[in-house]
A and B are shown apart, each in its own frame.
Chain A
Amino acid sequence: MMELSETVVLSTRVRLARNFAAYPFPHRLFDEAVARTVIRTVYDALSGLDDFTLYRLAETDDETIKRLLENNLISPALLSHKSIAAAIVNAEETVSVMVNEEDHLREQCILPGSNVWGCYELLSGIDDEISKSAVLAYDEHFGYLTACPTNIGTGLRCSLMLFLPALTKNGLIPSLKEKMSRLGMVLRGAHGEGSEASGFLYQLSIEVTLGVSEMKILSEVNNVALKIIQFEGEERQNLFAADSLSLQDSALRAFGILTHCVLLSYEEMISLMADLKLGVALGIVKGDVPALEDLSGAMLDTNLVMREGKPLTERELKTKRAHYVKSALQDIIG
């Protein structure tokens, strides 16, 4: 059976907000020449580190923008400054620096599993490199200065993507949310409030940025993650003890549909995947939860389009998805 933590924390995201000291914040940045300087400076600073791709949004086609959005490499807010905005993304697409979003720079790293330290190490290296090339807005008292005072100080935000089927089914999410908020953290449905029921996916994030060091924040998130992993693990055992037959039934039923359907919408896939992932997590079905999660991501409309290299109709998307899922599951599920 797989390591429990890998089946509970699916991915980790850390971001740092930074600004150039010399220029107005992006919502007041009307000089496009200055905006270009910001983009160029950051891109040049990063080029020495890794193989980064620069996307100037004004020159990027809609399909690519949609793909960057769906893979969380850019945010919807970046699009509202399209004429001055850019994204600088590494080859593995684990690190992206959004330029001229709410702040001049939003440096972010997303890695699979529970890996706050890994994310921060990668990001910190990038941040150091940028600090060498630009004077960043920093104040002895208030720390890194950001357009919105909610981000001043470390400018750091850390969030985890959690798969919590047992806590959801056993009705324990409301009390967990309350506990988290007492710790200064927020637990919410990964795709907005009320989205929990379909995929059992949640986002846990910590909001404080002033007066608490990066290390302390990351270490708190890490410790809370360990507790949630344990909690979810216990509830999975309870769930299994209470009615293993139903769980087996749902998991195999989901597997049956996913490997035999011909038309598959993204929403239906997510909900079936949730049952299958729970079955895998409980050891009812042999498989790999992170691989199933990767497969779900790859089955987003835009990723299917990129894979095919041409636009697809609604119906083509559904047939391609059904086809890929079927063949991928034969490899993932043993």
Chain B
Amino acid sequence: MRCCHCKKREGIYEISDFVGEQALVMVCDECLDYVLVGLESCPTCGYRKEDYERTGLMGCADCYRAFLPLTMRETLRLQEKTEHKGKKPEEGNFDLVEERSLLKERIEECIRLRKFAKAHELSKRLDEINRLIGDKEDE
């Protein structure tokens, strides 16, 4: 796994020790200190760690990286998982595998509500996706 901080080098250490969970993210040798200690204030916006403790809000997008240990700790406290899954800005649209499962559900719902014309229309799109990516089930 790539180093979670520089995203360039290969990660060597699992930074599970300081967050108390298993195999969260990997970090490379060069970035280890930075990741374990973090910065006192955000180089981009000047926000300080204690500002976060006071408000519960980050100052800007770069604060998340500047205060990485804090970010990891808070992520574990507030969320169930630590790594994003889902939409990315540049992607724009749904991933086809996901769109397929969405379509299947919607088709079932249309049939249940007896909206057959809509179900037919959606199943055409489903066929199209199946042609593109094969109709084998994922997972």
Contact = CB atoms under 8 A, between A and B. Distances in A.
Interface of A: 3, 19, 21, 23-25, 27-28, 102, 117, 124, 127-128, 131-132, 135-145, 147-150, 152-154, 156, 184, 208-216, 218-219, 222
14 contacts: A24-B60, A102-B57, A117-B102, A117-B105, A132-B92, A139-B64, A140-B84, A144-B89, A147-B58, A152-B75, A153-B86, A209-B79, A212-B81, A213-B86
Given A25-B59, A141-B25, A184-B80, 17 more contacts: A25-B58, A27-B55, A28-B59, A138-B88, A138-B89, A142-B71, A142-B84, A147-B57, A149-B79, A154-B86, A210-B81, A210-B83, A211-B79, A212-B85, A214-B87, A215-B102, A222-B109
Nearest to A120: B102
Interface string B89-125: 1101110001101100110010001000000000000
B74 interface: yes
Given A25-B58, A141-B84, A148-B57, A215 B75 contact: no
B94 A150 contact: no
B56 interface: yes
A149 B71 contact: yes
Interface of B: 4, 7, 25, 45, 47, 55-61, 64-65, 71, 74-75, 78-90, 92-94, 98-99, 101-102, 105-106, 109, 113
Nearest to B87: A214
Given A3-B113, A27-B57, A147-B58, A211 B105 contact: no
A21 B113 CA distance: 43
A135 B25 CA distance: 26
A131 B55 CA distance: 28
Nearest to B100: A215
Contacts of B74: 149
Q: Which of B58, B81, B92 has the most CB of A within 10 A?
A: B58
Contacts of A218: 102
A25 B94 contact: no
Q: Which of B47, B79, B101 has the most CB of A within 10 A?
A: B79
A127 B16 CA distance: 35
A131 B92 contact: yes
A221 to B, nearest CB: 11
B14 to A, nearest CB: 14
A305 B85 CA distance: 45
* Leading 7 A-B pairs by shortest Cβ distance: A211-B81, A143-B84, A137-B61, A213-B86, A210-B79, A215-B98, A24-B60
Contacts of A147: 57-58
Nearest to A26: B57
B123 to A, nearest CB: 15
A248 to B, nearest CB: 29
Nearest to A150: B78
Q: Which of A141, A142, A210, A214 has the most CB of B within 10 A?
A: A141
